[in-house]
Amino acid sequence: MRVLVTGGAGFIGANFVLTTLANRPDDRVTVLDKFTYAANPHTLDPVADRITVVRGDIGDAALVDPLVAASDLVVNFAAESHNDRSLDDPSSFVHTNLVGTYTLLEAVRRHGVRLHHVSTDEVYGDLDLDDPERFTESTAYNPSSPYSSTKAGSDLLVRAWVRSFGVTATISNCSNNYGPYQHVEKLIPRQITNVLTGIRPKVYGDGANVRDWIHVDDHNDAVWTIIERGIPGQTYLIGADGEVDNRTVVESILELMGRPADAFDFVTDRPGHDLRYAIDSTRLRTELGWSPRYTDFRSGLAATIDWYRTHRDWWEPVKAGVEASYAKTQTTLD
Ligand code: NAD
Ligand code: TDX
């Protein structure tokens, strides 16, 4: 199969490329990526001779069209992905997440190519801490941030192109990912690399916000399951029953790194901060037979800490810039 992986130099997309090459040696992989700040130019170096890398924008129709025409499958990971940045400047989120997805949809429509669109549980908004319900495929969309609203819009474009134009597409909405190659702006790598560089970890607000953690390899395994066995036109939620509050995540990182569990600071909260996400992945498990392999969050976290410890050259060049940027808006709370 000829697979076009958009956003294949970012966190989840690069892990997808690496596991696809390992598990499906006969597939031919092309990466289309704009190489924004979020892409590390070295992540794909070890497989550079096995893939084709095209540097460009998914919103560039003239570039996208022949790449899609030469593919059997497009897997769309390309996005602006960070909530904090979307609050600072939403413009690139509107361009990439909305115009970019539209551009891909028009190309797959023209050429009759299958699309899998990767999305997030944040499209559903948030839940109360004690709400017994979790998100399902029929939960109403209710996004909170410029990031999540542009992802919600991208999903709705895919649904409309399926219904109105007969495009063959599936959508997945996954919970928070962790694992190797995640940018140090995100919660888990930020705190691990803070400890490794002598900075106290930073928890937004009171740290009660809950995220539903899944290892990136389990996410990507679910994406392949949906591509192979999913029903065209359907949406599947991906989650691994990994709900943990942020304070506990940071305390666990500190403990696993041999530091006192209270050696962190509470800092300025994120505006509009979603309280809790929780995924019910029953459809994916019962209809498609998927289940996660990483069921012990603490050991997945320990492996991720080891990865950042042994890959300093991968993250060190951007660490100081990320912290300087956060310091402009985040101050320690008393
Ligand atoms: P990321 O920010 O690490 O990577 C995004 C990649 O897209 C980068 O390589 C970037 O250069 C590229 N890109 C950005 N704009 C582009 C454009 N206009 N054209 C081409 N490439 C462009 O993001 P990620 O965490 O790997 O997320 C990948 C996808 O998964 C996103 O759609 C995101 O919404 C979704 N998702 C992420 C998570 C998570 O926890 N990280 C959870 C659920 C869903
Ligand atoms: O330093 C921090 N301290 C902190 O308390 C950072 C960076 C974050 N947080 C909090 C905010 C969130 O409650 O931790 C939680 C996780 O934050 P992020 O890593 O920024 O992720 P989140 O906003 O939950 O979104 C992530 O998961 C869903 C991805 O960035 C999205 O792309 C994905 O859709």
131-147 pLDDT, tens digit each: 999 999 999 999 999 99
pLDDT score of 126 more than 90: yes
Query: In one letter, which amino acid is 1?
Result: M
Which residue of 5, 6, 18, 36 sits with most ligand 1 atoms within 8 Å of its CB, as the best mutation to test the pocket? 36
pLDDT, averaged across the chain: 98
Q: How confident is the model at residue 79, as a pLDDT?
A: 98
Q: Which atom of ligand 1 is nearest to the CA of 78?
A: 7
Predicted ipTM > 0.95: yes
User: What spacing in Å lies between the alpha carbon of 175 and ligand 1's midpoint?
Assistant: 14
Ligand 2 atom 23, closest CA: 83
Q: Is 286 exposed, middle or buried (0-12, 13-18, 19+ CB in 10 A)?
A: exposed
Q: How confident is the model at residue 226, as a pLDDT?
A: 98
CB 213 within 8 A of CB 174: no
pLDDT band at 39 (very low <50, low <70, confident <90, very high): very high
Q: How confident is the model at residue 141, as a pLDDT?
A: 98
Q: Is 146 exposed, middle or buried (0-12, 13-18, 19+ CB in 10 A)?
A: buried
Contact partners, residue 133, CB within 8 Å, separation at least 6: 127
102 is catalytic: no
User: What spacing in Å lies between the alpha carbon of 96 and ligand 1's midpoint?
Assistant: 10
CB 4 within 8 A of CB 78: no
pLDDT score of 169 more than 90: yes
Question: From start to end of the chain, where are the E strands?
Answer: 2-6, 28-33, 52-55, 73-76, 114-120, 169-174, 177-178, 202-204, 210-212, 214-215, 235-238, 243-245, 265-267
Q: Summarize the confidence of residues 40-46 as an average pLDDT.
A: 95
pLDDT score of 334 more than 90: no
121 is catalytic: yes
Residue recorded with tokens 């474009």 = 157
**Of 33, 57, 80, 122, which is the active-site residue?**
122
CB 44 within 8 A of CB 8: yes
Name residue 169's beta-bridge partners. Answer: 115
Q: Is 301 exposed, middle or buried (0-12, 13-18, 19+ CB in 10 A)?
A: buried
Q: Summarize the confidence of residues 193-205 as an average pLDDT.
A: 98
- The sign of the CA dihedral 84, 87, 93, 97 is positive
**Of 57, 80, 121, 126, which is the active-site residue?**
121
With a 6 Å cutoff on the Cβ, whether 202 touches ligand 2 is yes
CB 12 within 8 A of CB 219: yes
The CATH homologous superfamily for domain 2-178+215-238 is NAD(P)-binding Rossmann-like Domain (3.40.50.720)
Report domain extents, the chain: 2-178+215-238
pTM: 0.99
* Rounded percentage of the chain residues whose pLDDT exceeds 70: 100
Q: Summarize the confidence of residues 30-43 as an average pLDDT.
A: 97
With a 6 Å cutoff on the Cβ, whether 213 touches ligand 1 is no
pLDDT band at 17 (very low <50, low <70, confident <90, very high): very high
Dist. CA 282–CA 298, nearest whole Å: 23
Which tens digit of pLDDT belongs to each residue from 209-232? 999 999 999 999 999 999 999 999
**Of 102, 147, 178, 308, which is the active-site residue?**
147
Which tens digit of pLDDT belongs to each residue from 246-296? 999 999 999 999 999 999 999 999 999 999 999 999 999 999 999 999 999
Residue recorded with tokens 């059997």 = 72
CB 151 within 8 A of CB 76: no
Dist. CA 122–CA 120, nearest whole Å: 5
* Rounded percentage of the chain residues whose pLDDT exceeds 90: 100
Q: Enter the tokens of residue 169.
A: 């597409």
Q: Enter the tokens of residue 151.
A: 């992802």
